[in-house]
Amino acid sequence: MKKLGWGLVGGGEGSQIGFAHRAGSKLDGKFQFIAGAMDVDPHKAFEFGIAQGLDEERCYSDWQEMLEKEKNREDRVQLVTVATPNATHHQISKAFMEAGFHVFCEKPMTMTVEEAKDLLEISKKTGQICAVNYGYTGYPMVRQMRSMVANGDLGAIRVVVAEFAGGFMADAKDDENPRVRWRFDPTQAGMAAVTVDCGIHALHMACFVTGQKVTSVSSDFGHGIKSRQLEDDNLSAFRMNQGTIGRLWTSGLAIGRTHGLTLQVFGEVGGIRWTQEQPNQMFWTPLNQPTQILERGGNYLSEAAQRANRITVGHPEGMVMAFASLYRDLGEVIIAMNEGNRPDEMACWYPNVEDGYHSIEIVQAMVESAKGGSAWVDV
């Protein structure tokens, strides 16, 4: 089968996240990288496009040129990934969707709830996909967690604890570093800092694994480095629509916690936990029984976890492969749409525009709660 054409906006040389998209999109043979506007500097965008093997005519100077030229081609790209800074996501995703392209947008999908609602409505109106890169949901063992919860293995879920706390914003000298300073400037970063940078992933995972939505929040935002205008620490309590009690801790001040993304889910008859730094293992403790370590690749895992697996047990898979799972899902869904077929239900597990919208709604409620002395705010 002919591969789907894939294009990348942002994610250029030296960017934090570009490599994982370029590598992840290739792994399962669904997409071919054929067009890009990968750098804000047109010269670098061209040079890097050539270095990545794109045809000269498809190394675009900016995303507007890419959109104008691609939309008139018969072999146009079918999926455009937007991996630019946050403030540009809404404008670029909107323009591509309205021109008939499917979009895979980096998180946070938008800066405001209004923008998120706009993308949701455009997606509904045009039928174009606007997926959001909560890439950690592509890990096989995260899919195993979701399957176990859905299967009732834990019973009703009482508590979910989501953490994304590392030391990445802990150096006070970074106040002078332009690459860090903008994150705490509301005119560039928007309504929140560490909550949209990191916490948003953990919140989405809590929803993804429990199959629930957040209904209300009470948040305490901290400024460990006093000069910062936006929070570098957030401890929140939340409630979910099936009564689950939620906890989120996200921080940039947690020196020593390298990445610090962990999810724990506690039900009536069992508990599970997973951490991103050991993504191939998941811990499962049935009530009153010893803890078991489930290994990625094991033939006892759920169909969804096995589906996201690629190599044999004991050979570690990592973050690029988690991103690749989302690309594979999207590829399957786009092919099914093109052929007028129904996609596999599990291919539809990729984070969609409604998930992107829900996340921004939660962040806005957290900001409001923190401003109101941690009062409970409905989402």
State the residues that interact with ligand NAD by CB under 6 A: 9-12, 15-17, 37-40, 62-63, 83-86, 88, 106-107, 133, 135
Q: Considering the complex, what minimum distance in angstroms separates the CB of residue 53 from ligand NAD?
A: 17
Q: Considering the complex, what minimum distance in angstroms separates the CB of residue 2 from ligand NAD?
A: 27
Distance (Å, rounded) from C-alpha 222 to C-alpha 162?
A: 18
63 vs 266, which CB is nearer to ligand NAD?
A: 63
Whether 249 and 163 have beta carbons less than 8 Å apart is answered as: yes
Q: Considering the complex, what minimum distance in angstroms separates the CB of residue 75 from ligand NAD?
A: 22
Closest by CA position to 281, among listed 271, 264, 295: 295
The amino acid occupying position 326 is L
Give the residue ranges of DSSP H helices in 190-318: 194, 200-210, 303-307
83 vs 154, which CB is nearer to ligand NAD?
A: 83
Q: Considering the complex, what minimum distance in angstroms separates the CB of residue 183 from ligand NAD?
A: 10
62 vs 171, which CB is nearer to ligand NAD?
A: 62
85 vs 286, which CB is nearer to ligand NAD?
A: 85
Whether 253 and 170 have beta carbons less than 8 Å apart is answered as: yes
43 vs 173, which CB is nearer to ligand NAD?
A: 43
Handedness of CA 106, 371, 361, 149 (dihedral sign): positive
Q: Considering the complex, what minimum distance in angstroms separates the CB of residue 15 from ligand NAD?
A: 3
- Rg of the Cα trace of the chain? 20
105 vs 377, which CB is nearer to ligand NAD?
A: 105
Structure tokens belonging to residue 363:
């962040």
Q: Considering the complex, what minimum distance in angstroms separates the CB of residue 342 from ligand NAD?
A: 28
40 vs 161, which CB is nearer to ligand NAD?
A: 40
Point out which residues pair with 283 in neighbouring strands.
273, 293
With b meaning 16 or more CB within 10 Å and e meaning fewer, what string describes 254-275? Answer: beebeebbbbbbbbeebbbbbb
Q: Considering the complex, what minimum distance in angstroms separates the CB of residue 281 from ligand NAD?
A: 20
Torsion of CA 317, 263, 204, 225, to 10 degrees: -100
Residue tagged 């890169």 (tokens): 133
107 vs 328, which CB is nearer to ligand NAD?
A: 107
Q: Could you tell me the CA-to-CA distances from 375 to 59, 79, 301 in Å, in that order?
A: 50, 42, 41
Distance (Å, rounded) from C-alpha 276 to C-alpha 318?
A: 9
Q: Considering the complex, what minimum distance in angstroms separates the CB of residue 12 from ligand NAD?
A: 3
58 vs 107, which CB is nearer to ligand NAD?
A: 107
Structure tokens belonging to residue 83:
């991996």
Q: Is 61 exposed, middle or buried (0-12, 13-18, 19+ CB in 10 A)?
A: middle
Q: Considering the complex, what minimum distance in angstroms separates the CB of residue 154 from ligand NAD?
A: 27
